[in-house]
Amino acid sequence: VYTGMLHPSKIVEAALGSSLLFDELLIQHPFVNPRALNEKFSPVKNPQAYRQEILKSILMMIQLMPLIDVGLVNLFPDPWEFDYHLRDQTMHLAEERARLLRPIMEVDEDMRSFQEEEVKRSLFQISEEGQRARIKQFSPEYSNEDVEGVLSALQAMKEQDPYAVLQSDASTGGEENGQLHMLKLAPNFEMSMYVAQATGAAIVTDNAVRWNELRYTILARGMQLKHHVNDFASVLEASPMPLLQHPVEIFDWWRKRMPRPHAALFGKLISYLAKVDQKGRKPNFEKHLLASLAKGNAAYLHAVEQTDFFRGDVKFECAFPRGGIHDSTINRLLLMSSSEYHMQSVPMALYLKKYEREPHAAMHSP
């Protein structure tokens, strides 16, 4: 289950490429369900307010569709949209968690960057007269020629921004004649755990805040992040991993049946971690996993080096705790949803942290 920023510029960094490492990657779909919103914010009642959001959602779907068609990615709807009681309970838990964790959480640099971008786009939506007045307000020393130069630069930036609304009447939508801006870090911690336990999956994220929430859940129970398969974790975390970043090239990798050794490997690892606390360790099997990881890494890296596919590097951080990642409130939510067959915990989680190679060691990218 992927949990992170559902934005077309972010999801290409790690999420899309990581689909080659797993049998199937579950991603929450980006579209808004009008039934889940107050009527005055509904895209059915105020479609003009969603012009910018629909650009992002459609572009993200264009990126995902080749991978959905071949089964690398599977989209799922937000469970809140079908169970309002579940939504209310989860929101209450999220508020309590935020109150406890806010003092120790890192600043979400991704969220801050996206917020700054949205502020810039809100300036694009102001009428030319409004932009001229705003420039004069903040820079009264500017001559009329200077102001016109700034206006021309803003127009050029707007035309080059793939997420900017170009219609001249873009500021006429919404309750207060504006565009709705949504930043989706989804699913949240509770729903990530909920979906992972319901489907028998692990959790993967490229978001530091979500990773810290997972780490806190483990450490708060007095557990270590890596209790099982420590040697496997050490090898996995030791070196950066290149991930493809263009959806068509990821599809091409799948179509040509190029090496995907990690998909079977992580599948075996998840099954092993789900049972190891009840059935005990199997040292020979762990050695087999470790040998398969070394062999798989070599095959995958060699195949990547033979291509000129666009890619970026990540470094793994692992969570393989004893008893899995467990939160009793998630089990209560699952039982409340009449779930009979779900895991009692999430066996493992992986953090894909963006990694910048040294210039002399950088891999070729077009």
pLDDT at 68 over 90: yes
Work out the average pLDDT over 268-293: 96
Rounded CA-CA distance 91/310 in Å is 39
**Which parts of 19-83 fold into alpha helices (H)?**
51-69
Q: What is the pLDDT of residues 309-351, one digit of tens each?
A: 999 999 999 999 999 999 999 999 999 999 989 999 999 999 9
Return the pLDDT at 103: 66
The better pLDDT of the pair 359, 213 is held by 213
Query: What's the helix, strand, coil split of the chain in %, to 5?
Result: 55, 10, 30
pLDDT at 228 over 90: yes
Burial of 123 (0-12, 13-18, 19+ CB in 10 A): middle
Q: Distance between terminal CA atoms of the chain?
A: 30
Rounded CA-CA distance 341/329 in Å is 16
Q: What is the DSSP string of 150-178?
A: HHHHHHHHHHH-TTS---TTGGG-TTTTS
Return the pLDDT at 176: 57
Return the pLDDT at 170: 57
- CB-CB neighbours of 198 under 10 Å: 18
Return the pLDDT at 364: 38
- CB-CB neighbours of 109 under 10 Å: 11
Q: What is the pLDDT of residues 156-190, one digit of tens each?
A: 888 888 888 887 655 544 455 667 778 889 999 99
Q: Which amino acid is at 31?
A: F
Going by C-alpha positions, the residue among 140, 243, 181, 216 that lies closest to residue 54 is 181
Phi, psi angle pair for 315, to nearest 5°: -115, 135
Return the pLDDT at 292: 97
Contact 204, 2 (CB under 8 A): yes
- Asked, as a colleague might, if the bond just before 187 is cis with ω within 30 of 0, I would say yes
Place 293 in a pLDDT band, splitting at 50, 70 and 90.
Answer: very high
Place 280 in a pLDDT band, splitting at 50, 70 and 90.
Answer: very high
Rounded CA-CA distance 297/262 in Å is 8
Least confident of 221-235, 284-298, 346-360: 346-360
- CB-CB neighbours of 158 under 10 Å: 16
The better pLDDT of the pair 76, 97 is held by 76
Return the pLDDT at 309: 95
Return the pLDDT at 366: 35
Contact 228, 276 (CB under 8 A): yes
